[in-house]
Structure 1
Amino acid sequence: MCRHLAYLGPEEPLGAHLVRPPHGLYRQSWAPRFQQHGTVNADGFGVGWYASGDPVPARYRRAGPIWADLSFADLARVVRTTCLLAAVRDATLSGADAEAAAAPFASGAWLFSHNGAVPGWPGSLAPLTGTLSATDLLSLEARNDSAFVWALVLARLRAGDAEGQALADTVREVAEAAPGARLNLLLTSGDSITATTWGDTLWYRTEPGRGTVVASEPYDDDPLWHEVPDRTLLVASRTDVTLTPLKEPGENSAPAPSKEPRT
C-alpha cells in the first residue's frame, strides 16, 4: 500500500507539504502512522505540479526511495506551486518498469495516483481489457495494477465523464471484477481534487487562506484534519469539500452528497 497527497491553494514550495511537516510524505516513506498494508514505501516516488500559466503539469519521478534523492530535496525547497500531487510507492515485487511504475501518472492536465492493490492481478482484470482500445492498452505507462486502473479512469475522462463520475464508476467496475481490491484513487487537473476511499484511509484539511490538502494520512497534528469514511467519493476545491457515499457493486442508487462546512 502506498501513501499519497494532493494540495490545492496559495502558492507554496513543494516541501511545505511533502518534506517540512513532522509526518510529511517524506517521513511516511519509512514511518507511516496510519498505513494498514505494507510497512516501507521505498519502491519509487513521484511528484507532479503546475507552473503558473501552463495547464500541463511537470513530473519528477524516481525508482528509489525519496530519502535517498538529494536532488529532490533541492527541488522541494525552491519549486513553488498552487497545486501538486505526490506519492511514495510501497515496497513490492521487483519489476522492470522502474520509475514508470511510480505515481503520479499523467495525461494532459491530469495527475493520478492509486493507493491500494488489486488481488489476482493481472488475471482478475483481464475481462476489463475489452473496455479499452488497443491504443489505450499499448499506451500503459507501466505493467502494474495502478497503471491499468489509470487507463480505465482516463478512458472515461476522454469520453467526457466528470472527474468524480470517472473515479466512482472505475472503482465499482474494478471492485466487482476483483473483490477485496483496495482502491483509494486521487486525481487533479490543477483546479480541484477528486478522490475515493475504498479499503484504506484518507484525510483532508481545508481552511480559507491555507487551501485544501487531501492525503492518505495527516502530516501533522492540526485539529482541522478530518477522516473520510470508507466507500466515499471526495471532491474538493480550495475552500470546500463534498463527500458522497460510493455505491457497492450491484447497488442501484446512493445517498445525495453532503457538503462539508468551511472551517
Structure 2
Amino acid sequence: MCRHLAYLGPDVPLAELITSPKLGLYRQAWAPLHQKHGTVNADGFGVGWYAGDDPAPARYRRTGPLWADANFPDLARVIRSGAVLAAVRDATEAGADGEAAAAPFAAGPWLFSHNGAVRGWPASLSGPAAGLPPEALLTLAARSDSALVWALALHRLRAGAEPGRALAETVLEVAAAAPGSRLNLLLTDGTTVTATAWGDTLWYLAEPGRYTVVASEPYDDDPHWTEVPDRTLLAATRTDVLLTPLKEPTA
C-alpha cells in the first residue's frame, strides 16, 4: 500500500526525483514493480520539500492520482530542493479525509510517510492510542491508520526521542498490538532520513558525501540500488547510511 521516497543531496528539481525517472513515483502511481500489496496508488499523493534556511518544509498534496494533476509537472519542473519526501497513496480503506490523509504528514521540521497498513484497524490500535494525550487524538491529521501511526511517532519525538528510537518503538508497539501489520515508515527533518523496513520493500541509493535516496523501490536501473532487509531500521545523512536489525515484539 503506497510508495514513497526521501532525498538528501544537492538542490535538484522535484521532477528529477518524481516525474522524470522512467520508474519514478509518477509511474509507480499506476505500475509499481515491487509493490506486494495493492496495484494502483491513486488515492492521493503529496510532496514536501525544504527551501533555503527555513526549517519548516512546504507541502503540496492532492486527493486524486498523481497522473491526473495537470499542475504538478510545472511545479516539479521549477521547484528545487536538497531535501524532499514524496509519496503516492493506496488507502487502507475508503475515507473522506481527502488531502489530509495524503502523505507527507508534517509537524515542525518533520515530514513523515507510512507505506503499509495496520491489520485490524481501527480496533487493533485502541491500546496504543490510549497512551496518547487527548490533544494528540483531537488533532489527528486524518482518520486513518497512517495518521495515528504518525501521532504515535510524533509523541515520542516531542518527548525527546531520537528519530531512530521514535520510529523503532512505534513500529514495535504497533506490531505487538496488530500482528501482521506492514509498517514501512519514512521520516526526515531535512538533514537526516530515518526509515523502517517492516513488511514491504525498501531500497537506498547513495553516493557518500553527495546524496542519499531512500525509496520503496528503485526509480531507475542504476545497479547501485541496495535493498534493505525486512525488519530493519535505516538511518541516513548525505554522507552515511546505517542499518540496524529490528526484533519482532515478544508476546
Aligned to 2:65: 65
Aligned to 1:103: 103
Give a deviation string over 1:183-206, Cα, whole Å, max 9, x none: 000000000100000000000000
In the alignment, the residues of structure 1 paired with residue 242 and residue 32 of structure 2 have an alpha-carbon distance, to the nearest angstrom, of: 26
Aligned to 1:202: 202
Contact 1:38 1:91 in 2 (8 A): no
Give a deviation string over 1:18-38, Cα, whole Å, max 9, x none: 111110000000010000000
Aligned to 2:114: 114
What SS does the corresponding residue of 1:35 show, helix, strand or coil?
coil
Q: CA deviation at 1:165?
A: 0.1
Contact 1:40 1:91 in 2 (8 A): no
Mapped pair 1:248 → 2:248: yes
Q: CA deviation at 1:91?
A: 4.9
Aligned to 1:237: 237
Q: CA deviation at 1:175?
A: 0.1
Contact 2:8 2:238 in 1 (8 A): yes
In the alignment, the residues of structure 1 paired with residue 247 and residue 96 of structure 2 have an alpha-carbon distance, to the nearest angstrom, of: 36
Contact 1:10 1:209 in 2 (8 A): no
Aligned to 1:164: 164
What SS does the corresponding residue of 1:47 show, helix, strand or coil?
strand
Aligned residues: 251
In the alignment, the residues of structure 2 paired with residue 88 and residue 191 of structure 1 have an alpha-carbon distance, to the nearest angstrom, of: 22
Aligned to 2:17: 17
Mapped pair 1:83 → 2:83: yes
Q: CA deviation at 1:95?
A: 1.4
When normalised by structure 2's length, the TM-score is 0.98
In the alignment, the residues of structure 2 paired with residue 93 and residue 195 of structure 1 have an alpha-carbon distance, to the nearest angstrom, of: 24
In the alignment, the residues of structure 2 paired with residue 92 and residue 139 of structure 1 have an alpha-carbon distance, to the nearest angstrom, of: 20
Letter in 2 for 1:167: L
Letter in 1 for 2:65: P
In the alignment, the residues of structure 1 paired with residue 214 and residue 84 of structure 2 have an alpha-carbon distance, to the nearest angstrom, of: 11
Aligned to 1:259: none
Q: CA deviation at 1:208?
A: 3.8
In the alignment, the residues of structure 1 paired with residue 55 and residue 228 of structure 2 have an alpha-carbon distance, to the nearest angstrom, of: 29
Where in structure 2 are the equivalents of 1:180-219 lying within 5 Å? Answer: 180-208=180-208, 210-219=210-219
Contact 1:4 1:86 in 2 (8 A): yes
Task: Point out where structure 2 has 5 or more consecutive residues left out of the alignment.
Answer: none
Aligned to 1:141: 141
Contact 1:43 1:92 in 2 (8 A): no
In the alignment, the residues of structure 2 paired with residue 140 and residue 60 of structure 1 have an alpha-carbon distance, to the nearest angstrom, of: 19
RMSD: 1.1
Q: CA deviation at 1:247?
A: 1.7
Letter in 2 for 1:115: N
Contact 1:183 1:199 in 2 (8 A): yes
In the alignment, the residues of structure 2 paired with residue 210 and residue 223 of structure 1 have an alpha-carbon distance, to the nearest angstrom, of: 17
Letter in 2 for 1:211: Y
In the alignment, the residues of structure 1 paired with residue 91 and residue 148 of structure 2 have an alpha-carbon distance, to the nearest angstrom, of: 19
